[in-house]
Amino acid sequence: MNNYLYDGTPEGLVSAIASILDSGENPEETHLAVRQDTLFEEGLFLRTDSALAEALFERLRQRAPDAVYTLWYFMMAEADGLETSLLRYIALAFEHGDRVNGYLTHADVKGIVGTARKAGRELHRMKGLLRFEQLRDGTWLARMEPDCNVIQPLARHFSRRLRAQEWFIYDARRRSAAHWNGSDLSFGTLEQFSRPELSPEEQAVQQLWQTFFKTIAIPERKNPRLQKSNMPAKYWKYLTEKQGE
Amino acid sequence: MELQEKITILSGAARYDASCASSGCSNDTPRGGMGNTSQGGICHSWADDGRCISLLKILLSNDCRYDCAYCVNRSSNPVPRASFTAREVVDLTMEFYRRNYIEGLFLSSAVNVSPDHTMEAMVQVAEILRNEERFGGYIHLKVIPGSSPELVRRAGLAADRISVNIELPSSESLKRLAPQKSKEAILAPMKLIGAESGMSLVERRKSRKAPRFAPAGQSTQMIIGASPETDLQILRLSQGLYSRMNLKRVYYSAFVPVNEDNRLPVLAAPPLLREHRLYQADWLLRFYGFSAEEILSDDAPNLDESFDPKTAWALRNPGFFPVEVNRADYATLLRVPGIGVTSARRIIAARRFAPISPEGMKKIGVVMKRARYFITCSGRPFERVDQQPARLRQRLLLGDGSEPKLPRQLVLPGLG
């Protein structure tokens, strides 16, 4: 088994995979991990090379466009410890093209595709569960703490849907924010965040929604377990209808 | 009346409508407007009964002149009555949509003056949303039986989906429990909707500018357990609605006794398991290539409570099994209990690389708890397939048998 290390950044990961594949190493006999800077750590450190990472992306796009999508979603999941699986997955993608996503009986493919799917699921979930509040200046703010880093595709979704209003999405876990000004989308990070004041009518609309939420359930069919399994409690913190529970 | 109070009355009155789908069509946001729809639909919340909330599901009015036995809004019920103005519904929809609470509006109504009077008011709400607010989100309109074809057409042009409730599974039950409604008045708009959306599809093939008529199709719903029909009768009806009327969905709504009425059965609880089994059977009709007559027969016209309908079919048809997962075609794989549409597709994709082993079946996501008794992997069975249906039934009910979970029998000393 040949051990390799990289710096822990997404770009470093792709560039490390590129140099291993270029070296002609057999991926099935190779191990890739993040450098921990401990004594006696074994393995060859591969320096991050943007050009190398870029070139790998481009070649993969030609050979297996679906695998690029999978890779994109996989990166959103920010999963640890699957570097070796990703190396083998990409090697298989070059070998088999887009069919690779169907090779679910292969443990590494299963790991990568499964993790990517997890991010895709959360992105879809957030499209429904994100809540915007109107601020005093008439702009809108939505806060969230998703497990996966979904802010980019999520913001693109709302830039199409809520095109006519100016809004911000804030990811409190990563301190990152997206801003739509009515025509352009921009992304950044925030050092500090305090929730701005809400518009005077915001409270009234939130109450109407809470009333609707309460009365739309059929009392004879009450089923909190089903509710929780569809809408896990970790998302309740920012849900208007779940405030005060 | 305060808006809060109106919402309480009119969403409480709308909650017995089962549909809340926002899927089936994808629209872009209109120029200068707000809102789009996505093919797969989006759920925005889940209510305390576990059902998803995707649309603002509400009645325009609950002031009804009909007296249907099962309905909470019937005229003889002493419930508070309320009506929205068109503007109120439009504003609520827009305010909720801006905050991402909903995908759009599902508007229904009680009938007061006449079907046309109510239908006209509902269509107006949809038209204001589309034309004045330039709203591109999802609109589902309920069609009032007996309303004029012209209004049904306008509804179809403004809405993404329209539906007519069939209410009960037979015309006899309709006569008995909803004497002011008739089968003809319900089926006429259904047929009209089917014909109009068919024509719109043809026109749109010629020109993309041709108007769209209810692009997400039509659905319907019926109440289960308020009348004596068997599951076979219900499934035959659904089968006919799917094949002849081209419906997108039939919803089944377990009867919730909200009224005391000697025409209605007395139930301890809504028949939720029966509703669940009917939905499973409905899926078999739509996605698994089963017919109503394969799922049930005149000798056994009701769905088994202990087994899902596919497992029940497999138990009655041991000759069909075991299925060899490395060779069987898609349609055959779909008939195996524990293998669904997704896992059947995955099996076919994965076996192009290498024959699938028992471990591989688990990785793919097959429910081996059920499938193990019905398949072989490259000729090898998982379980010695027991040809005695009675014993197989028991093993399916109790799990894999490694831990005997038999109901403990109480043995009393001195007896037996």
- Smallest CA–CA distance, residue A113 to chain B, in Å, is 11
Q: Does B274 have pLDDT greater than 50?
A: yes
Selected residue of A140, A156, A161, A230 to mutate for chain B interface (largest B Cβ count, 10 A): A161
Q: Which chain A residues touch B356 with a CB distance below 8 Å?
A: 105
Q: Which chain A residues touch B57 with a CB distance below 8 Å?
A: 216
Q: Does B406 have pLDDT greater than 80?
A: no
Q: Do B99 and A225 touch (CB under 8 A)?
A: no
- Smallest CA–CA distance, residue A231 to chain B, in Å, is 7
Helices (H) and strands (E) in chain B, counts: 15, 11
Q: Does B316 have pLDDT greater than 90?
A: yes
pLDDT for the residue A96: 96
Pair A10, A79: CB distance under 8 Å:
no
Q: Which chain A residues touch B99 with a CB distance below 8 Å?
A: 131-134, 140, 205, 209, 240
How many residues in total does chain A contain?
A: 245
Q: Do A99 and B352 touch (CB under 8 A)?
A: yes
> Strand (E) positions, B37-160?
45-46, 52-53, 55-59, 104-108, 138-142
Q: Do B29 and A161 touch (CB under 8 A)?
A: yes
Q: Which chain A residues touch B50 with a CB distance below 8 Å?
A: 221, 223-227, 229-230
Mean pLDDT, residues B136-164 taken together:
96
Selected residue of B10, B15, B46 to mutate for chain A interface (largest A Cβ count, 10 A): B46
Q: Which chain A residues touch B270 with a CB distance below 8 Å?
A: 220-221
Confidence of residue B364 (pLDDT cuts 50, 70, 90): very high
Between strands A132-134 and A44-45, the pairing is unpaired
Pair A154, A127: CB distance under 8 Å:
yes
C-alpha to C-alpha distance for A101 and A70, rounded to whole angstroms: 8
Element (H, E) at B282: helix B272-287
Mean pLDDT, residues B136-158 taken together:
96
Q: Does B155 have pLDDT greater than 80?
A: yes
Q: Which residue of B has its CA nearest to A110?
A: B363
Nearest to B49 among A104, A163, A218 (CB): A218
- Smallest CA–CA distance, residue A25 to chain B, in Å, is 22
For the record, the structure tokens of A15 come out as: 């560039």
C-alpha to C-alpha distance for B274 and B226, rounded to whole angstroms: 12
| DSSP bridge partners of A141 | A133, A168
Q: Do A132 and B98 touch (CB under 8 A)?
A: yes
- Smallest CA–CA distance, residue A141 to chain B, in Å, is 9
Q: Which chain A residues touch B254 with a CB distance below 8 Å?
A: 221
For the record, the structure tokens of B174 come out as: 């309709």
How many residues in total does chain B contain?
A: 416
Q: Do B95 and A240 touch (CB under 8 A)?
A: no
Confidence of residue B142 (pLDDT cuts 50, 70, 90): very high
Q: Do B49 and A106 touch (CB under 8 A)?
A: no
Q: Do A220 and B43 touch (CB under 8 A)?
A: no
Compute the radius of gyration of chain A from its Cα atoms: 22
Q: Does B412 have pLDDT greater than 90?
A: no
B9-20 burial, b at 16+ Cβ within 10 Å, e below that, comes to: bbbbbbbbbbbb
CB neighbour list of residue A68: distance below 8 Å, 6 or more residues apart: A57, A60, A61
End-to-end CA distance of chain A, in Å? 53
Domain range summary for chain A, segments of one domain joined by +: 2-123, 130-242
Q: Which chain A residues touch B44 with a CB distance below 8 Å?
A: 128-129
pLDDT for the residue B383: 72
ipTM score assigned to the predicted complex? 0.94
Residues of chain A with pLDDT under 70: 245
Q: Do A209 and B101 touch (CB under 8 A)?
A: yes
pLDDT for the residue B399: 66
CB pairs under 8 A between A and B: 162
pLDDT for the residue B402: 47
Confidence of residue B384 (pLDDT cuts 50, 70, 90): low
C-alpha to C-alpha distance for B267 and B248, rounded to whole angstroms: 31
Q: Does B415 have pLDDT greater than 80?
A: no
Among the residue ranges B131-140, B259-268, B334-343, the one predicted with the least confidence is B259-268
Interior CA angle at B212 toward B209 and B217, to 5°? 155
Pair A32, A69: CB distance under 8 Å:
no
> Could you give the strand order of the β-sheet that contains A132-134, starting from the edge strand earlier in sequence?
A132-134, A140-144, A167-171, A176-180, A185-189
End-to-end CA distance of chain B, in Å? 71
Q: Which chain A residues touch B269 with a CB distance below 8 Å?
A: 220
pLDDT for the residue B387: 60
Write out pLDDT tens, residues B210-249: 999 999 999 999 999 999 999 999 999 999 999 998 899 9
Structural domains of chain B, ranges and CATH numbers in brackets: 3-24+39-219 (3.20.20.70), 309-400 (no CATH)
Confidence of residue B393 (pLDDT cuts 50, 70, 90): confident
On average, the pLDDT of chain B sits at 92
Q: Does B374 have pLDDT greater than 80?
A: yes
Pair B83, B63: CB distance under 8 Å:
yes
- Smallest CA–CA distance, residue B15 to chain A, in Å, is 5
Picking from A157, A172, A164, A161, the residue whose alpha carbon sits closest to that of residue A138 is A164
Q: Does B401 have pLDDT greater than 90?
A: no
Q: Do A226 and B50 touch (CB under 8 A)?
A: yes
Q: Do A205 and B99 touch (CB under 8 A)?
A: yes
Mean pLDDT, residues B310-325 taken together:
94
Nearest to B15 among A133, A134, A216 (CB): A216
Q: Which residue of B has its CA nearest to A183?
A: B32
Q: Which chain A residues touch B8 with a CB distance below 8 Å?
A: 211, 215
Nearest to A216 among B29, B47, B99 (CB): B47
Pair B143, B108: CB distance under 8 Å:
no
C-alpha to C-alpha distance for B232 and B135, rounded to whole angstroms: 42
Q: Does B414 have pLDDT greater than 60?
A: no
Q: Do A132 and B96 touch (CB under 8 A)?
A: no
pLDDT for the residue B408: 42
Beta-carbon neighbour count of residue B299 at 10 Å? 6
pLDDT for the residue B400: 53
- Smallest CA–CA distance, residue B150 to chain A, in Å, is 32
Nearest to B42 among A103, A128, A162 (CB): A128
Q: Do B101 and A133 touch (CB under 8 A)?
A: no
